[in-house]
């Protein structure tokens, strides 16, 4: 039996020639440890190509992802602010929840929300020499400084007269 070339799984196209454990990592929100645990709990061989898995095996994997029975530390949404339960999100739902969380921080004017709004680092990193995208650095080359000086000094002389 030849493996399917592309497997559509949880709104993601997965290459069928990859091992199941490796292919699951292509889904946003599923990492190395989580994919290994998924294969073990759903009794799917982690080294078997995902293109060779039957529909029932794929449904077991999908069920294990939507309702995980893993320890809290493996989930990506512990103590959800709305429900208070431990959840695990994947794909576009994960993106939407992250965006909603950032917008909530901005709306309540929390420090992290303000930093997100300003495009600054959020987690306490130093900013003296890092995060200088789209900003000019204080050091100029001699040729650029010489070209800038005459243009800046000409209006001052006219103002004195």
- Residue-wise pLDDT tens for the chain (161 aa)? 777 888 898 888 888 899 999 999 999 999 999 999 999 898 889 899 998 888 888 898 898 888 888 888 988 888 888 888 888 888 888 899 989 999 999 999 999 999 988 888 888 888 888 887 666 656 667 777 788 776 555 555 555 55
- Asked whether residue 82 is domain-assigned, the answer is no
Residue 15 and residue 6 in contact, taking contact as beta carbons nearer than 8 Å: yes
* Domain assignment of residue 65, given as a range: 6-74
| Counted domains in the chain | 2
For position 67, what pLDDT does the model report? 86
Query: Exposed, middle or buried: residue 94 (CB in 10 Å: 0-12, 13-18, 19+)?
Result: middle
Same domain, 21 and 63: yes
- Asked whether residue 148 is domain-assigned, the answer is no
For position 109, what pLDDT does the model report? 93
């Amino acid at each position: 039996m030849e493996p399917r070339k592309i497997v559509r799984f949880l709104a993601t196209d997965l290459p069928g020639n990859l091992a199941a454990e490796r292919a699951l990592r292509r889904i946003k929100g599923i990492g190395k440890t989580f994919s290994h645990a998924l294969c073990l709990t759903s009794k799917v061989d982690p080294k078997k190509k995902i293109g060779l898995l039957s529909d029932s095996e794929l449904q077991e994997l999908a069920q294990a992802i939507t309702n995980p029975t893993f320890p809290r530390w493996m989930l990506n949404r512990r103590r959800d602010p709305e429900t208070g339960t431990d959840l695990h999100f994947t794909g576009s739902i994960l993106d939407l929840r992250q965006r909603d969380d950032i917008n909530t921080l901005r709306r309540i004017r929390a420090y992290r929300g303000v930093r997100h709004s300003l495009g600054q680092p959020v987690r306490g990193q130093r900013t003296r020499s890092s995060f200088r995208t789209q900003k000019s650095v204080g050091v100029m080359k001699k040729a650029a400084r010489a070209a800038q000086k005459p243009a800046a000094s000409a209006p001052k002389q006219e103002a004195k007269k």
